[in-house]
A and B are shown apart, each in its own frame.
Chain A
Amino acid sequence: MAHVVLIGNLRQYTGGVTELDINAASVRQLFARLSEQFPELKPHLEEGLAVAIDGQIYQDALLQPISEGSEVHVLPQIAGG
């Protein structure tokens, strides 16, 4: 299981849940599990988000592995100027 923290406005689509444990071996699986549990969250997971796995931020990394016991943050993507 990974410990998942939802950052920013995502709590709006989870009934206020901001932290939960999820069984997911990759970012793609994480998004699939979150979508199953919180259907309103699904469209917001598809684009515009980054995932931090044990502190390292990944953007556009559906296949990035998530290890057992990892701390995962789902947060807004950053661009820049």
Chain B
Amino acid sequence: MQERVKKEPEREFRVIGTRPLRPDGADKVTGRAKFGADFKMAGQLVGKVLRSPHAHARIKSIDVSKAAALPGVKAIVTRDDFKDQGSEFVPAGEMLVNYRDVVRTVMAREKALFEGHPVAAVAATSESVAREALKLIKVDYEVLPHVMDPVDAMRPDAPLLHDDMITAGVTPAPTKPSNVAKRVEFALGDVEKGFKDADVIIEREFNTKPVHQGYIEPHACVASVSEDGSAEVWVTTQGHWIVRAHCARLLGWDISKIRVTASEIGGGFGGKTVVYLEPLALALSKKSRKAVKMVMSREEVFRASGPTSGANVWVKIGAKKNGKIVAGEAILKYQAGAFQGSPVQPGCMSAFAPYDLEHVKVVGYDVVTNRPKVAAYRAPGAPISEYAVESVVDELSERLGIDPIELRLKNAAKEGTKAAYGPKFGPIGLIEGLKAAQDSPHWKAPLGKNQGRGIAAGFWFNIGGETTVSLQLNEDGTLSLMAGTPDIGGLRASLCMMAAEELGVDLGKIRPIIADTSSLGYNFLTGGSRSTFSSGMATVEAARAIIKEACVRASKLWEIPIDAVTWEDGKVKPAGDNAGKHQPMDLGDIAKIAGKTGGPIIGYSAITAHGAAPSFGVHIADAEIDPETGKATITRYTVIQDAGRAIHPSYVEGQYQGGAAQGIGWALNEEYIYGDDGKLQNPGFLDYRIPVASDLPMIDTIIVEVPNPRHPYGVRGIGETPIVPPMAAVAAAVKRATGVRFFELPMSPPKVLKGIKDAKANGGAKATA
């Protein structure tokens, strides 16, 4: 599709770049905002899920008879209520999805493939009846050996999850099944040749654990199916059109019969781009003829909703003595969970993205394990691969005696650099970010005892996609803005600001909503850092459509040619004195005559937004290590990142801080702990330790603005990049504080303490762990 909105020349902005009060703020701080679990329907039932207690088991039979006979139970669904889907990758709103795997994620069929895998679901008149019913469902399992780790799962004798999984991407194709779904490879130049030119080569192996997206709001939905087959769903989601598509496909219903409304969302970070409860709730509602509400407990969220991958990553980097990197190579083994589809491919593509390299080769393996199927988590795949590469770059800087920022400046990708994944970059802000880091007060601040400072760069691609916005001129001249990308980080405020800027009107005249799937044209989900970019582009187009129509109405009313009419400062007016003496009209005046001059005035834009541009970030982390406990405390942290143009700087800063906080948790504390029986031992926030406000200092931010020339206001997506650098930045800080370099995350206190003790026993600061 052609570009639809052209960038205007640089100008002063009236609204863009200011910090107005957020339109969703009052409801959120007073508790009035309606989240997924806040919606109620009259007569609704409570839905609950029976989940496998085994990490790997064949399901021989399911007997629901006793549960069905329990008073208060109105419906039960099992695998028999969901038609099997063939193995085929089909588009589901721009994503490629294998519905054979989706139907099995939602409800186990032949096997339970992870502890927590749904086996049946019940709708009953109360939660206590539902729970009682679950106990009465008898499932005959044949317990099988399980495998939890990608390296273990790749061994020839590993327990096999899928009898028909033949590794794709290997020539010739293997003759036997394995747990490796796919091999991918990305290469530039000739790494062997590159390494021959190196004066220094560093090779390291890293291991990371799966971590959860950690949204505070669990999955929740209410579904209601009418006797005529039409259905409504209220759900916390990042993509209600995707929910609609998945449910229609899994249940065999027309898409037009399902209307999905997105609630306010209490965090998603990628984890709410898939379905878990919604098809079950709809199936239960259809059977019971009542609305059904389903809410996951925190334990269920951990046991049964996607974390991101854990991984084993090997990295090799060669450089000249002057710091010029001559070759980079990596092998990534990512676990996908029970079904194929880890983010190993974007992990491969992003690993060396911050660097201008002639010779690069990255190979990735997508490996299934007996854990929940992974879901997207903020820049999926990139934090892991870039953690490993940035850590080796840090070690390189120490080995060569070159400042880590200078080393990165020497090798930084810039406009015209050929990315490791193929195309050349347009204008990008990495060098600006590195220089801002160099000039920052943080970089120059002195450090105290047991403290170290680390720095790392990061990258994410960002995307556009299908987007629709409707901007309605109301009878009194105010405007109602309908967008379709759920607001996970300030979208509504930013869209109103862009509309106000275009129209030249007061921001307070525009109120936004996120529309349901029946009220607006198609929207791809909120993810890929796309919503401010894409919905913003559509909003600008919609606002310009209103301006155009207002001019048309004025020209007809005034009986002058259209080119004699202009729009200025929120009003339509004659373009010059020779156009006649006509009183300028604002939107209120236009609205009054709209019905009498052709009908209501709406600006509507339905586009596939193109022109998304990457965002590079640089993070500086200071860590202080308690030598007696191994606890690492982040004492100072700065995020520097290119936003293109910050529409509402407070929201941009919030995204930077939030991503950094998640990356710090990933680096220092977060991990799933499984027993030998394949059961999760820490399914709660007490023992799955994410950072809370008291764990972290105020995270400082520096917004770099290298405008994206493909967006009318220069916007780049910014939501994902902030999670990419923290792991390497913190690891580098810990190294400089302790003298010990860690190659496994998280760097939790027992591991750091052991590393320090082992280093002392081995005679000093250069030991590694």
Known A61-B1, A64-B610: A73·B423 in contact at CB below 8 Å:
yes
Residues facing B in A22-81 (CB within 8 A) are: 47-48, 52, 54-61, 63-65, 71, 73, 75-81
Per-residue CB contact flags for chain B residues 174-193 toward chain A (1 = under 8 Å, else 0) read 00000000011110000000
Q: Give residues 191-240 of B contacting A (CB, 8 Å).
A: 213
Q: Are A81 and B465 in contact (CB under 8 A)?
A: no
Contacts of B608 in A (CB 8 A): 59-61
Q: Tell me the nearest residue of chain A to B377, going by C-beta.
A: A81
In the bound complex, CA of A75 to CA of B96 (Å):
14
B602 close to chain A: CB less than 8 A: no
- Determine if A7 and B421 form an interchain contact, defined as CB atoms under 8 angstroms apart: yes
Q: Number of B residues whose C-beta is below 8 Å from A? A: 52
- Residues of B close to A64: CB separation below 8 A: 1-2, 610
Chain A interface size, under 10 / 10 to 19 / 20 to 34 / 35 or more: 20 to 34
Q: B171 and A78: CB pair below 8 A? A: no
* A contact residues around B39 at 8 Å (CB): none
B273 CB contacts on chain A under 8 angstroms: 79, 81
Within the complex, what minimum Cβ distance (angstroms) separates A73 from chain B?
4
Residue among A48, A73, A80 making CB contact with B379, cutoff 8 Å = A80
A64 to B421, CA, bound (A): 21
Check B89 against A80 for contact (C-beta < 8 Å): no
Residue of A nearest to B461 (CB): A78
Q: How far is the CA of A81 from the CA of B422 in the complex (A)?
A: 22
Evaluate contact between B425 and A81: CB separation under 8 angstroms: no
**In the complex, what distance in Å separates the CA atom of A58 from the CA atom of B608?**
10
Q: Quick one: closest B residue to A63, CB to CB?
A: B1
With A55-B425, A78-B463, A80-B529 as given contacts, are A48 and B89 in contact (CB-CB < 8 Å)? yes
Given A79-B380, A80-B720, also A12-B171 (CB < 8 A): yes
Q: Are A47 and B89 in contact (CB under 8 A)?
A: yes
Please indicate the chain B residues that have their CB under 8 angstroms from the CB of A7 in the complex: 186, 421-422
Whether A81 pairs with B720 at a CB distance below 8 angstroms is: yes
Contacts of A59 in B (CB 8 A): 94, 463-465, 608, 610
Whether A63 lies near B2 (C-beta < 8 A) is yes
**A5, A12, A77, A81 pick with most chain B CB within 10 angstroms:** A81
Q: Which residues of B contact A78 (CB under 8 A)?
A: 346, 349, 461, 463, 528
Residues of chain B within 8 A of A61, CB atoms compared: 1, 608, 610
Is B377's CB under 8 angstroms from A73's CB?
no
In the complex, A55 Cα to B428 Cα: how many Å? 12
Point out the residue from B345, B465, B466, B610 that lies within 8 Å of A8, measured CB to CB.
B345
B378 located at the interface, meaning its Cβ lies under 8 Å from any Cβ of chain A in the complex: yes
Report the separation of the CA atoms of residues A5 and B373 in the bound assembly, to the nearest whole angstrom: 33
Please tell me if the beta carbons of B169 and A9 are within 8 angstroms of each other in the complex: yes
Complex CA gap A60/B94 in Å reads: 8
Residues of B within 8 A of A54 (CB): 424
A55-B423, A81-B720 given; A76·B463 CB < 8 A: no
Per-residue CB contact flags for chain B residues 425-459 toward chain A (1 = under 8 Å, else 0) read 11000000000000000000000000000000000
Residue of A nearest to B90 (CB): A47
Q: Give A71 to B389 CA distance when docked, in angstroms.
A: 28
Residue of A nearest to B308 (CB): A81
Beta-carbon contacts under 8 Å, B142-183 to A: 168-169, 171, 183
Which B residues are CB-close (under 8 A) to A8?
184-186, 345, 421
Residues of B within 8 A of A12 (CB): 169, 171
A58 CA to B609 CA, complexed, in Å: 9
Nearest chain B CB to A31 CB, angstrom units: 15
Q: Chain A's nearest CB lies how many Å from the CB of B198?
A: 25
- Report the minimum CB–CB distance from A34 to chain B (whole Å): 15
**Which residues of chain A have C-beta atoms less than 8 A from B95's C-beta?**
79
A52, A60, A75, A76: the one contacting B465 at CB < 8 Å is A60
The verdict on B401 contacting chain A, using a C-beta distance below 8 Å, is no
Residues of A with C-beta under 8 A to B184 = 8-9, 76
Q: Which residues of A contact B (CB under 8 A)?
A: 5, 7-9, 12, 47-48, 52, 54-61, 63-65, 71, 73, 75-81
A-B contact sample (5 more), CB < 8 A, given A9-B183, A61-B610, A78-B463: A8-B184, A47-B90, A47-B91, A75-B423, A81-B271
Binding site for A on B (CB under 8 A): 1-2, 89-91, 94-96, 168-169, 171, 183-186, 213, 269-271, 273, 345-346, 349, 375-380, 421-426, 460-466, 527-530, 608, 610-612, 710, 720
Can you report 22 residue pairs joining A to B where beta carbons are below 8 Å apart?
A7-B186, A7-B421, A8-B421, A9-B183, A47-B89, A48-B89, A48-B91, A55-B424, A56-B611, A63-B2, A64-B610, A71-B423, A75-B349, A77-B94, A78-B349, A79-B346, A79-B380, A79-B528, A80-B376, A80-B462, A81-B375, A81-B379
